[in-house]
Structure 1
Amino acid sequence: MPTAQRGIDAHLEKGWAHAIEKENMLRLKWFRTNERRLNEIANKPPNRAVPEEVTEKYKEAIVDNYRNVIKNPRIKTRDADPLIDPRAMQAIMKPVNPATTRLIYSGSNKDGRKNYLTKRVHQIPEDRFYFPEVSSWAYGWNMWDVVKETRKTGFGRQQVIKDSFYRRRGVGCDPEWYKEPAVFSPSICSCN
């Protein structure tokens, strides 16, 4: 079995060295024939000055663009939402209904707090907050706007999730070839 070889074979090494040497000689020959031209290009002072006529035309074009701008009135896309309080940028929760706030001070200390929290928890988060506070609220946020657009059925409630997710005929029966596994008990002998 032959062993794995590393690098170039000894008889190919001389040919490789000759090819590298030949390439270096060609590069040197090209450099010597073009040396005078390369020196002229390298020692030439850089000329990056822009002529005065070009700069003046450029300045005039910019000034004309600013003077001849067509001014259009800003289009108002929509009015501010009257339901959103202007302080909403700093606040997280919408202001609480004064009748609900009065529940805190009604009754004894514990009952008032309990009544307030019970009343407050029965409101949906969209009525209490300006935007979804936690990521779990993103599912179903403003859901009631979409539900209003859904078509009503003539026969009662509409089961969107049941119709689109669950099977129509249930789980189904076991196949005919399926049998219950044997149960070992003292009355059944397994020595056969």
Structure 2
Amino acid sequence: MSKAQRTAMGDYWAKTIEKEAALRSMWFRKNEARLNENANKLISSRAVPEEVKEKIKKNRIEAFQQIKKFPRIKTEDTVIDFEGNLQDIMRPVNPEITKLIYTGHNKDGRENYLRERVKLIPEKRFYFPECTSWDHGWKQWHRMKDNRTLGFGRQQIIKASFYRRRGVERDPEWYKEPAHINPTFCNMCR
């Protein structure tokens, strides 16, 4: 499309919009009195009588008074022991685990320390949840005893869910090749 055609189409579109706006405003001016009259009728018919309001209010008050009340469930029975400084977030590390940092060559000590440290659940490593994302599973480990822990959270999700362990399999027994239509073969002739 050339530049002249685009300009012509843009002009046509602008004129169409202006024409539609003029028609709308003309229709509104012509029917304004009727619209105002209908709007005022609806407002008066929508008013709720005072006796109906009082009846609804009375029913709601009765409903709230008859609600069955339950005692508040206590979520945490024990108070957290906080023997550290107010600025401490992490509990003290076991000295035996700390010694792992200095044993081994180069990175081996650090890796051994982290491997042992990650085996502890967060409640045993920290006094309280450090960020809001920890609130979801905090104090839930008694339910997760059966799950095995993974070192540093590494998993092969795609391999387990996408690839097949046994390779490419045969087609299922119920699968059949589609019928081939042959001009020399007629199903009706049999």
TM-score, normalised to structure 1, is 0.34
Greater C-alpha Rg: 1
Q: Which protein, 1 or 2, shows the higher relative CO under an 8 Å CA cutoff with sep ≥ 6?
A: 2
TM-score, normalised to structure 2, is 0.34
